Structure 1
């Protein structure tokens, strides 16, 4: 069911039906928060942080509503996301995870057009610094589901403004020294504070939210984009889309 809702969200993005994309992302987020993984409760400790995908899709829902001009719905989703992320600190009690949840709080403030995003990113950065002594392997922690989910909405917005390419890299998001976990992970919040609001503003100006990047192929002779004529393919959700503009590809 979760995958169905996410696939519907991606298909709606491809059709530029942003209200429908927001609705589908909302349903995907709620469903994943209710059942983050088979046999797991959202209220239990979880070293992978599977609930992060639910938070991710609520951020994406708010972004889709913003692009659609449905600012009130985006704000409601942002308020909801802030509350859920804060509540999840009762389950994901590891200091590094709690800092990531505060990073999510700041993301929801940006996506939902809420005040205090800069201060929230500052709070997340401070939380990463405080968690440093508890983090034994910052690189491994940053590849868990929770942390990847917190990075993906930013990457999704950015790729839509950069010809569909990977516009935010691992090196962009993280500090240079994983042996300094406070700064290595805290750089995520610092980078987002600098870039996420402006990227969202540019996406709103363009009136476009790209589909997430999935499996890709360049110069694929079997497909053509009817919008921009590209032959670079992005398989994501259950859709076959143009890597460049997220339009459904045509087989040839």
Structure 2
């Protein structure tokens, strides 16, 4: 079922494909607000109820991405406001998403917001998130936790930001974000925060310097004979949010 949030995400992706990055920031912001208000429409889930899957994380994801878009567009003050909003929401969600690992993920989001909004205290925030993960008790299956909507939402922004400098390819893998031993749940999840501390700030700086934010990666095909990018000539395709984009530069593809 397509929702109003999906429509706003599609509008944001269209804006990125047109290099209208400020408009993309606006649309990602609207998607965030809609998702925060109504995180799981078919189930009428309230954002103020405990939720072991953390569907409300999608709203935080789009706020993070909106701040990056504003930074790329040169709207630093608006990016800072999105960062402040996101930190406030993540901290407020601690009252409902109270499983120990979820609290670590919300701390991870706080650090992400500091990163994308160019705030002080990034290193300390990621250190706090790593500590929260290490202190998390009762995590029997960290791989299941790491694939829940909340955790996937926290992983998505760095993956999207990393695509641009990587020519559209997947530049942040599962193994990058997680430890090698799921039997040690704390270390397995804490790797997310330590990796982001090492990589996310420089990736954001890179896309800001380049003046371009890639669209999220969806379904892809290489060497598609039916499509060609008018901007760079690539025939590698990214289908995302009802748009057919160039895998390499996120421009709209043309039928060949």
TM-score tier, shorter chain, comes to: over 0.9
Instruction: Work out the CA distance in 2 between the residues paired with 1:52 and 1:10.
Output: 19
Q: Which residue of 2 aligns with 1:102?
A: 107
1:212-231 residue pairs with structure 2 within 5 A? 212-231=216-235
Gaps of 5+ in 1: none
1:147-158 residue pairs with structure 2 within 5 A? 147-158=151-162
- Is 1:6 matched up with 2:9? yes
In the alignment of these two chains, the number of paired residues is 251
Of 12, 19, 22, which aligns to 1:19?
Answer: 22
Instruction: Work out the CA distance in 2 between the residues paired with 1:5 and 1:176.
Output: 37
Q: Which residue of 1 aligns with 2:90?
A: 85
Instruction: Work out the CA distance in 2 between the residues paired with 1:134 and 1:115.
Output: 32
- Deviant stretches of 4+, over 3 Å: none
Q: Give RMSD over aligned pairs.
A: 0.5
- Is 1:250 matched up with 2:254? yes
- Is 1:63 matched up with 2:71? no
- Is 1:29 matched up with 2:29? no
Instruction: Work out the CA distance in 2 between the residues paired with 1:81 and 1:171.
Output: 27
Gaps of 5+ in 2: none
Instruction: Work out the CA distance in 1 between the residues paired with 2:200 and 2:192.
Output: 11
Instruction: Work out the CA distance in 2 between the residues paired with 1:41 and 1:124.
Output: 25
1:200-211 residue pairs with structure 2 within 5 A? 200-211=204-215
1:42-191 residue pairs with structure 2 within 5 A? 42-131=47-136, 133-191=137-195
- Taking structure 1 as the reference length, what is the TM-score of the superposition? 0.99
How far off is 1:134 after superposition? 1.5
SS at match of 2:239: strand
Instruction: Work out the CA distance in 1 between the residues paired with 2:175 and 2:10.
Output: 29
- Taking structure 2 as the reference length, what is the TM-score of the superposition? 0.97
Instruction: Work out the CA distance in 1 between the residues paired with 2:220 and 2:51.
Output: 31
Deviations 1:116-173 (A, max 9, x none): 1110000000000010x32010000000000000000000010111010000000000
SS at match of 2:135: helix
Instruction: Work out the CA distance in 2 between the residues paired with 1:16 and 1:123.
Output: 36
How far off is 1:47 after superposition? 1.1
